[in-house]
Structure 1
Amino acid sequence: MDLTPLGKTRIGGKKRSLRAAFARRTQRQVSLMVFVKWIQGTMCNLFCWNIYIHHSLSILMTNENEAFVFTSFLFSFINMFRESHESFFSQSHHQYFSDGRLALLQFKHQFSSTGSSYVSTCRAAYSKTSLWNESSSDYCIWDCVTCHDSTGHVIGLDLTCSQLQGTFNQNSSLFQLHHLRVLNLAFNNFSGSLIPAEIDWLKNLVQRNLSFSSFSGRVPSNISYLVNLVSLDLSSMSLQLDEMTFTNVLGNLTKLEVLSLSSVNISSKMPLNVSSSLTYLDVQGTELLNEFPLSSFSFPNLQTLSLSSNLNLYLDLTKFNWSSVSSSLLELDLSYTNTTGNCQILLEMSSL
Structure 2
Amino acid sequence: MSSLGYFFAINIAFVSGQCQSDQQTLLLQLKSSLTFDPSSSVKLMQWRQSTDCCDWSGVDCDEAGHVIGLDLSTESISGGIENAASLFSLHYLRSLNLARTSFNGTQIPSKLANISSLTYLNLSDAGFAGHIPLQISSMARLVALDFSFNQFSGSISSIRWEHLLNLVYAVLSDNSLNGSIPRSMFEFPMLQHLQLANNQFGG
Amino acid across the alignment from 1:133: R
Counterpart for residue 108 of structure 1: 31
Q: Is the 8 A contact 1:209 1:234 kept in 2?
A: yes
CA deviation profile, 1:289-341 (whole Å, cap 9, x unmatched): 12xxxxxxxxxxxxxxxxxxxxxxxxxxxxxxxxxxxxxxxxxxxxxxxxxxx
Counterpart for residue 130 of structure 1: 45
**Aligned with 1:203 (options 104, 116, 123):** 116
Counterpart for residue 164 of structure 1: 77
Large movers: runs of 4+ above 6 Å: none
Counterpart for residue 220 of structure 1: 133
Relative to the length of structure 1, the TM-score reads 0.49
Q: Is the 8 A contact 2:157 2:182 kept in 1?
A: no
Counterpart for residue 5 of structure 2: none
Shift of 1:235: 1.2
Structure 1 spans left out of the alignment, 5+ residues = 1-93, 116-124, 291-352
Larger Rg: 1
CA distance in 1, matches of 2:96, 2:154: 20
CA distance in 1, matches of 2:68, 2:154: 28
Q: Is the 8 A contact 1:200 1:222 kept in 2?
A: yes
CA deviation profile, 1:142-193 (whole Å, cap 9, x unmatched): 11101011x2110000111112123322453101100100000000112222
CA deviation profile, 1:13-55 (whole Å, cap 9, x unmatched): xxxxxxxxxxxxxxxxxxxxxxxxxxxxxxxxxxxxxxxxxxx
CA distance in 2, matches of 1:175, 1:289: 35
Say whether residues 1:267 and 2:181 are aligned partners: no
The 1:241–1:234 alpha-carbon spacing in structure 2 relative to 1, beyond 3 Å, is: farther
Shift of 1:200: 1.3
User: What fraction of aligned residue pairs are identical, expressed as a percent?
Assistant: 32
Q: Could you say what secondary structure the match of 1:267 adopts? A: strand
Q: Is the 8 A contact 2:33 2:83 kept in 1?
A: no
Amino acid across the alignment from 2:177: I
How large is the Cα RMSD of the aligned pairs? 2.2
Structure 2 spans left out of the alignment, 5+ residues = 1-17
CA distance in 2, matches of 1:99, 1:245: 37
Say whether residues 1:187 and 2:110 are aligned partners: no
